Structure formats: C-alpha cells, structure tokens
Amino acid sequence: MGLISIAVAAPLAISSHPPLLAAATTVFRDSRRHTLRMPELDTDTDTESTEGTSTSPLTQREKRDLQKAQLRPLANRRPELYEEDEYTSEEYERMIDMYQGTMASIEEGEIVKARVMEIRENMVVLDIGFKSEGAIPLEEFKDLPDLKPGDEVEVLLEHLEDQEGSVVLSKKKADFMRVWERIRVAYESDQPVEGTLVKKIKGGVVVDLMGVDAFLPGSQIALRRVPNIDELLGQKYEFKIIKLNKRRRNIVVSRRVILEAERAGKREKLMKELQKDQIRKGVVKNITDFGAFIDLGGVDGLLHITDMSWGRISHPSELVQIGAELEVKVLDIDWERERISLGLKQLQSYPWKDVAAKYPVGTRVAGKVVSITNYGAFIELEPGIEGLVHISEMSWTRNVRHPSKLVSIGETIEAVVLKVDPNEEKISLGMKQTEQDPWMVLPMRYPLGTRISGKVRNLTSFGAFVEIEPGIDGLIHISDMSWTKRVQHPSEVVKKGDSVDVVILNIDSENKRISLGLKQAEEDPWLRIGETYPVGTELSGTVVRLMDKGVVVDVGNDIEGFVPVSQLNMGKAVTDPAEIAWETMKLEVRVLEVDPIHRRIVLAVTDIPADQPPRPETPSKVIPMDSEGDIGYPVPTPDEGTGDNI
C-alpha cells in the first residue's frame, strides 16, 4: 500500500485540520514524482530480503516501523512542502504520528470498534473509519435488542475489501474471539459453564454459551430421554464442554455429565443412609401407567400403582402429580440392579383390621360397583375394602348369564353381608338377600292342584317351561302333556309363546322347581274309555310306531291302541312286524280289550286296505318294548333349571 492509501484513509482528525490536510496532499503528490514506496508494497526490498537471506517475512509491527522511517527523510528532502511560519517540525511530526496511528488501528483479523450508521430490515451498516462501510446481518445482534444508530460496538475486521470494495465485518466472530479464552480455560480445567437453551435442531439443541452458539446433543440433555425438548427452551443450566475445535468454531457441551456426577455423589450418600422401612420425602419425577418414579435426592425409586392405595385406582395420576412432594416408605432396596421399591399405602392404617366387627354377617351395606367379571361384581364398601356379589347371589328368580345384565360400573347398589374372611381379605355379598325370597311363599300362593295360566317360555327335549309369574317358571314334563298320546317332543303339543292352562303338581322351594301338568287341566278320557270304545268296536287307524311285539295304531282323538304281532296278519304267523307293516300304513282294526287302569287298548287287524301310502325304502325302526310291556318310548328325566337364561 503506497501513500495513496494513507491519504485515502486519513482520519477525520486530519481532514478537519486544513493545514495538515494540505501538507498530506503535497506529500502524496511528491511521492508519485520520487516513486517513494511504502514498505508493504516495496516488492524489490522484500524480494531481495527474501531471496538473499533465510529470514521470515516482516511482521505488521516491523512494517509500520519501516513506514515511519521512510516518511521522515521525505520531509528533509522536500522542505518546500511546508513553510516554517505555518508548520513547525513538531506539528509535522504530529501529523505523521496521526497517520501512523490510523494505519495501526485498522488491521485484518483484529477486533475494532465500529459505529452503527443504519439499521435495515435484516442488516446493520457500520463505520470503522475506513474508506468504505461494512454490513453485518441483524441476527448477529440478538444480544443487543436496543441497538440504534450512533451506538458503538466491537466487531472483527475479517477483510479490508471484498470483491465489491466493502469492508468485511463480523460481530459473531468478534464475540467468539472474546469468549474463546474463557471457554478454553473452562474446557481444560473441566469447569462447568452456564448457558441457555436457544432452539431445537436436528440431533439436539443450540445453547447460548456466553454469547457463542454451542451444540448440545439430545443424548446429553438429561439422564433419561426428554419427551418434549420444547419445554426446556429458554431455561438456563450448567454444562460441561466435552469437545472444542477453534478452527471450525465447534463447541459441544453436555448437561448429562454434570447430572451423572451429581447423581453419583448423592447415590453414594444415599447408599450409606437409606435403609428398608425408612420413611423418606421425595418428589414425583415421572408418572407411568404402572406407577410413579420418586426422586429421593439423587436416586429414583418406584412407587408401584398397587402400593399407592389400599383401594382400587385405575391410574397413578388419580393420586399423585409430577412435582408433588410425598412421604413414602422404603419397601425394598436392590443396589445391584439400582432398584428401590416405595410404598404410600403402607403409611396408612390397614383397612382389613377389625373388618369382621365392622361388617358382621347379615349387615345390609351399600357400595359402588368397581369391577365386573364373568362370575360376579366387586363392590367397594370403603377405600381398600371390596366385597364380591357372586352371579348366583344376584337374583332369586332370574337365571343371570352375565352380571352386566343387572349392574354396571360406578352404580351404587345395596347388598347383604353373607361371609367375612379377614385373613383372605374377602367379603361375600348378596344382592337378592335384600328382598324376600319369592320361592318361600310360592307354596302358600299356589297350593297343589291350583289351575293357572302361563306363557310357554322355552322348549326342551323333555318338556316345556311356562312362566307363571315374572321370573318364575314351571316345567310341563313331556309325560304330563297328553292323557292318551305318546308325545315324542313338546313341539307336537305346544309352541313357544303359546298361552296355556296348567295345574300345579308340585313346588320344591328349596331347589326352586315347580312341576306343572297340561293334561291335568282336562278331564282324563280313560275314565270313560270303555264307554267310548267298547270291545268289538270296528275302527280305522294308522300305524305310528313299530314295536318288536307289535305295532301302535292311532285310532283318532289322540287315542292309540296296540296290535300284538299275533293279531297283525289276520291269523297268519308273523315273526317281525316290519315284514308286513310300516309307519303311515292304513289298517282296519277291532277292539279286543280296554284297560283304563293301565291306559291300554288292545286291537286286532281285520283288514288291510289296498290303497296305501308308498312304503319307504328304508325299513321303519323297530322299538323294543320294556319288561312291563309298555308300548311307549322311555320318558327322560328333566334336567335342573328352567332352560330360560338372561
């Protein structure tokens, strides 16, 4: 740089002094005529020095001293540049010093002071006293929210000129250089530094560390994974610098290192102090579906949901909240696995103590339904004490298929204490016991022989169930459906939903069974069967069943008669009824015998009509007769129950 650069870069102090400015201009003009060069552009001198010797290039300070030495001879060689009556040697010397001071204050790579000229939308224009101004992005001044024109700030002079002739400045790098030494010392001495979490980026968070951006990896934020990093932004914490690279301006910090050191110290202290069955204070740190983690002062313990309350809770948040302080009891310690089990309910009185005296058998109680299973419903009588209403104890009359048909969660019901077992922590309750058992009064309401009407609710293979009043059904056995007809299935006589008249045959209150009769509601035709069908009466009939000793013939009016095998073929010998007879076959018969006592009519075939229904390809089944000569099917015994469930 020659004298032209010095003249252009003259400070405001010289430009405001006309005599000095004139002298500077004269020096500049004369320098061109005498080809005086400034040391930094005196290439011949530098080249010779470099080629003739092995010395290193001049430093900035050496260059400035050489400049000063070359300027003074100029004044001696050109005394006409100033008049003695206008400039003294002291004034001229002061002018040279002012130039030299200006050049010394403007050097690339140094921090200089700059004055804010203008603040634009995203740029701040600065003047450092050089020939051109510089601009810095506004975002680098985020720590100076009240910045205004005229303010003075420190910036880094990166380059005196760029391709457009502008000064290249940076406040961010100036800040970095100012705090770098402090950061380096903290890193080398392993000292913590305070920083603020600024913004979330990929892989971690940007931390403002003394005005310089540092990177905090996500794994180094806390001891455990942080579910919502946004909640931490703006918070101040202490960090350890774990990686430093000045050239790349890369600073990596960790908060986890500090937390681990704190935890290790507290853990060591707790290992000496903490004992089983101790009562300690802690702070709720985290809540999960299965419990809450309690910070005991450096070490976390688990308060399981089953140890929170003697009563039933669906989620830990019903009893505890994050940040709340609790007193808990240490239930178990496993230092090898780093597990501490805590209890909250253990600090409360045991609710099952004296429960038998509090809820004696027969006591009527009220409670809330807290759980429903296939076999019953659990009723909370008080926090920590629940009783079970078994499905069989819910209704006297209804056959309950599932408890949800009668009760629902949260419903308040009344029940009676049936049994108390404090050792097993069980109480048996009954809902139906709150009402009178209707089966106990049924014998008085319906004496034997009472004629009532009912609705057919259900059919089974052995009979039909008839509702005689809401919730109470009686059974019409298949044998009590007809006086004369051998009923194969109840559907031959009644249908579901039919209204029928029946007679009470028996009531078993203890086993809750009622026997009904359908045929008993009508007069027994066998009492006058001899009058209706005297011996010798000619009848037409249809074969309905084949027996091994004869066939059963329907002669009308639900009356069936029996034709022995000896009377089947009009005197001709027959060994097997299936040889000549089949079901639906038409026969002409004559009454041989009427037995009202055994309810039997014996018939003899007198003729076999030629017009017959087609004989089935598969022979009709032959049913063996019992030892007593019964012509009907064996009658099954009814199963227990009504066959109608809800």
* pLDDT tens digits, 104-158: 456 777 888 888 888 888 888 888 877 778 888 888 887 788 888 888 888 888 8
* pLDDT tens digits, 189-222: 888 989 999 988 888 999 988 878 899 998 888 8
Tell whether the model's pLDDT for residue 249 goes beyond 70.
yes
The half-sphere exposure of 526 on its side-chain side, counting CA atoms within 13 A, is: 16
Tell whether the model's pLDDT for residue 68 goes beyond 60.
no
Tell whether the model's pLDDT for residue 264 goes beyond 90.
no
Highest mean pLDDT: which range of 33-37, 109-113, 494-498, 525-529: 494-498
Cα–Cα distances in Å, from 536 out to 141, 527, 539, 566?
131, 19, 9, 17
Residue 389 CA to residue 398 CA, distance in Å, equals 15
Which positions ≥6 away from 205 have C-beta within 8 Å? 197, 198, 199, 215, 216, 218, 221, 229, 232, 233
Helix axes 60-77, 89-105, angle to 10 degrees: 150
Tell whether the model's pLDDT for residue 406 goes beyond 80.
yes
Mean pLDDT of 93-97: 67
What is the per-residue pLDDT for 35?
A: 34
Which of 64, 153, 172, 61 lies closest to 112 in space, CA to CA? 153
Least confident stretch, 31-40, 217-226, 498-507: 31-40
* pLDDT tens digits, 546-571: 888 889 998 887 788 899 988 887 77
- Supply angle C-alpha 414, 640, 417, rounded to 5: 20
**Neighbouring-strand partners of residue 156:** 111, 170
* pLDDT tens digits, 502-540: 999 999 888 888 999 998 888 877 777 777 888 888 999
What is the per-residue pLDDT for 134?
A: 85
Tell whether the model's pLDDT for residue 12 goes beyond 90.
no
User: Cβ of 260: how many Cβ atoms within 10 Å?
Assistant: 13
The half-sphere exposure of 552 on its side-chain side, counting CA atoms within 13 A, is: 23
Q: Class assignment of domain 274-347?
A: mainly beta
- Supply angle C-alpha 97, 98, 104, rounded to 5: 85
Residue 130 CA to residue 9 CA, distance in Å, equals 6
Least confident stretch, 118-122, 308-312, 642-646: 642-646
Greater model confidence, 6 or 267: 267
**What single letter denotes the amino acid at residue 64?**
R
Q: Does residue 299 contact residue 341 with C-beta atoms inside 8 Å?
A: no
What is the per-residue pLDDT for 640?
A: 39
Tell whether the model's pLDDT for residue 428 goes beyond 50.
yes
**438-521 topology per CATH:** OB fold (Dihydrolipoamide Acetyltransferase, E2P) (2.40.50)
Cα–Cα distances in Å, from 352 out to 182, 304, 365, 445, 563?
65, 21, 16, 44, 76
What is the CATH number assigned to the segment(s) 111-174? Answer: 2.40.50.140
Tell whether the model's pLDDT for residue 84 goes beyond 50.
no
| CATH of region 355-434, choose from 2.40.50.140, 3.40.50.300, 2.130.10.10, 3.40.50.150 | 2.40.50.140
**What single letter denotes the amino acid at residue 12?**
L
What is the per-residue pLDDT for 62?
A: 65
Greater model confidence, 307 or 629: 307
Residue 628 CA to residue 613 CA, distance in Å, equals 32
Helical (H) or strand (E) element with 282: strand 279-288
What is the per-residue pLDDT for 389?
A: 94
Count of all residues that appear for the chain in the document: 646
**Neighbouring-strand partners of residue 538:** 590
Equal fold, 192-259 vs 355-434: yes
Per-domain boundaries in the chain: 3-105, 111-174, 192-259, 274-347, 355-434, 438-521, 529-623
Residue 108 CA to residue 110 CA, distance in Å, equals 6
Tell whether the model's pLDDT for residue 86 goes beyond 60.
no
Greater model confidence, 645 or 282: 282
* pLDDT tens digits, 157-180: 888 777 777 788 888 888 777 778
Greater model confidence, 352 or 75: 352
Residue 340 CA to residue 314 CA, distance in Å, equals 23
- Residue 56 — very low, low, confident or very high, per pLDDT cuts 50/70/90? low
What is the per-residue pLDDT for 516?
A: 94
Three-class secondary structure of residue 397 per DSSP: coil
Mean pLDDT of 440-444: 85
pTM: 0.41
Which of 397, 400, 433 lies closest to 415 in space, CA to CA? 433
Residue 207 CA to residue 185 CA, distance in Å, equals 18
Tell whether the model's pLDDT for residue 379 goes beyond 70.
yes
**529-623 topology per CATH:** OB fold (Dihydrolipoamide Acetyltransferase, E2P) (2.40.50)
Q: Class assignment of domain 192-259?
A: mainly beta
- Residue 346 — very low, low, confident or very high, per pLDDT cuts 50/70/90? confident
What is the per-residue pLDDT for 154?
A: 83
Cα–Cα distances in Å, from 251 out to 104, 545, 601?
32, 104, 115
Helix/strand/coil percentages in the chain, nearest 5: 25, 35, 40
Three-class secondary structure of residue 462 per DSSP: coil
